[in-house]
Structure 1
Amino acid sequence: MRVSRMLTGVALAFAAVATQAADPDQAIRQTLKSIQPDLPIEAVSESPLTGIYQVHLKGGRLLYASGDGQFVMQGMLFKVENGEAVNLTQKAESKGIAKEIASIPTSDMVVFAPKNPKTHITVFTDTDCGYCQKLHSEVAELNRQGVEVRYVAFPRQGIGSHGYNTLVSVWCSKDRQAAMNLAKNREEVPAAKCDNPVAKEYQLGQSIGVNGTPAIVLADGELIPGYQPAPDLAKLALQAGGESTQVSRTN
């Protein structure tokens, strides 16, 4: 993510950046925009830590800043409760990621659902990815345990790559499930073209911090990078939430 390249340490001080704004929201925005004009800031709000503000970026990512906008931090904020450290940053980012995932209609996904789903996972996938293929071989077991698997596209090699073209063919197939099965079995998928969400989903994945596949998002927005065996993944998915957290099946 470009933010990570911009903020290479846990904390960077921008003491040289002066601002005349008295309002923390305006001061923080001015500082960050002076560093990266296209930074997708959605909101600035008070953080649980007195005197520090949290900057919500599109995709659910968080930065922290002083009220005068001269100090910016990237990292995890923890709160100690009953002797245990609670990751407040992860909680807030998961909520933002869940919101982004909820914006994707299931008509833009390839869905493998059990008869009576108890929960769901959203998987950013690349058909050329070995661990994605391994995960796909366990979809039936996930379904058996009540976990609906929703695929969204993430061509690791970028737009125009072999993986991208295959994903487009899958999404443009009359039977997406059958086409996905072919791709995951390393069989040729008949070429097809149509208006499709592959590029948009790839960009969404980048915005929420996906940098490899499979990347699995639980119903509560927690992002799990990499493959997990079906028994472990089902347990995590069921703990994360039930069907009350499902996105709409309409466009």
Structure 2
Amino acid sequence: MKLPFLRPLLAALLMSAGLAQATAPNDEASVRKNLDTFFGTQAVESVKKTPYGGLYEVVLKSGELIYTDAAVSYLIDGQLIDAKTKRNITQARLNQLQKIDFATLPLDQAIKQVKGNGKRVVASFEDPNCGYCKRLAKDLQGLKDATVYTFLYPILSPDSTEKSRNIWCSKDKAAAWNDWMTGNKTPAAAPAGCDTTAIDKNVALGQKLRVSGTPTIFTADGNRLPGAVPLAQLEQAMTQAAGGKDASK
């Protein structure tokens, strides 16, 4: 999710170059200081010098990745491509930044479904009213030999929260989820006293992991797949993860 004020500020900076200096210290601390002045807040998570044209990689606390020079005389909001190798440096770095430690996921807060031998493992954050999530749910019906953990992540509307709680409180969570997502069968109302704190914890967890849209999928090696990727692509990523290979490379 882009910072709403980023592009207007970028345009203003490019026009005025207000922070440009004739001689600016060539160090990361100076770059961070000038960026904090530019944004008017401490929006920067990290700054690192790159081997490309004197550019500095800037990771914002929002998760965005931009580039600047030592004097912060301009900002680049786009893709950096290595002309020799044709490798997308920006995307590779984003993949690295967006990886998680899969082992730390609180799987007891997710709906568990085991298909076949369950050897390959995947987790997803999904909203019950998300159209792409429904498409993914239908695709997953054909998934074999996998364990799927679905974190109910209601971020679209109050109705999403209600449906998530009703599904979580169902006697058979997986059946209630699939009935709704693939068959449009509304889940029964949650019984009084049902503990739905897992839903609130999922929302907090998703925000911590910067899950800004649904579905967001994580394979066992921690790689992130945003959106309802085609089943063939998901199969490939899961197989690579199970074999100890990094799907982001």
Q: Does 1:181 align with 2:178?
A: yes
The match for 1:223 among 222, 225, 235 is 225
Q: Distance in 2 between matches of 1:235 and 1:42?
A: 32
Which deviates the most, 3-12 or 28-37?
Answer: 3-12
Instruction: After TM superposition, list the pairs within 5 Å mapping 1:63-212 onto structure 2.
Output: 63-81=66-84, 85-99=86-100, 103-114=104-115, 116-142=117-143, 144=144, 146-158=145-157, 161-171=158-168, 175-184=172-181, 185-186=183-184, 187-191=186-190, 192-196=194-198, 197-204=201-208, 207=210, 210-211=212-213
Q: How far is the alpha carbon of 1:131 from its aligned partner?
A: 3.3
Q: How far is the alpha carbon of 1:94 from its aligned partner?
A: 1.0
Could you list the per-position Cα deviations for residues 50-94 of structure 1 after superposition, in whole angstroms to 9, with x for gaps in the alignment? 411112234753221212233222111111345xx2111111111
Q: Distance in 2 between matches of 1:147 and 1:97?
A: 23
Q: Distance in 1 between matches of 2:176 and 2:152?
A: 13
Unaligned runs of 5+ in 1: 247-251
SS in structure 2 opposite 1:98?
coil
The AA in structure 2 aligned to 1:141 is G
SS in structure 2 opposite 1:99?
coil
Residue of structure 2 equivalent to 1:249: none
Q: Does 1:235 align with 2:236?
A: yes
The AA in structure 1 aligned to 2:162 is N
Q: Does 1:25 align with 2:24?
A: no
Could you list the per-position Cα deviations for residues 90-134 of structure 1 after superposition, in whole angstroms to 9, with x for gaps in the alignment? 111111111276653323333323454454333231111233223
CA change 1:16–1:59 in 2 (3 A) is: closer
Could you list the per-position Cα deviations for residues 29-54 of structure 1 after superposition, in whole angstroms to 9, with x for gaps in the alignment? 22333315252x33211224141111
CA change 1:2–1:100 in 2 (3 A) is: farther
The match for 1:37 among 22, 36, 41 is 41
Return the TM-score normalized by structure 1: 0.73
CA change 1:174–1:9 in 2 (3 A) is: farther
Tell me if structure 2 keeps the 8 A contact 1:220–1:245.
Answer: no
Comparing both structures, which one devotes a greater share of its residues to strand? 1
Could you list the per-position Cα deviations for residues 191-217 of structure 1 after superposition, in whole angstroms to 9, with x for gaps in the alignment? 244323232145246x35x34x33334
Tell me if structure 2 keeps the 8 A contact 1:215–1:227.
Answer: no
Q: How far is the alpha carbon of 1:177 from its aligned partner?
A: 2.5
SS in structure 2 opposite 1:3?
coil
Tell me if structure 1 keeps the 8 A contact 2:136–2:228.
Answer: no
Q: Distance in 2 between matches of 1:10 and 1:111?
A: 44
Aligned residues: CA RMSD: 3.6
CA change 1:97–1:122 in 2 (3 A) is: farther
Q: Does 1:54 align with 2:57?
A: yes
Larger RCO (CA under 8 A, 6+ residues apart): 1
Q: How far is the alpha carbon of 1:169 from its aligned partner?
A: 3.8
Q: Distance in 2 between matches of 1:172 and 1:70?
A: 55
Unaligned runs of 5+ in 2: none
Q: Percent identity?
A: 23
CA change 1:102–1:42 in 2 (3 A) is: farther
Report the number of matched residues.
234
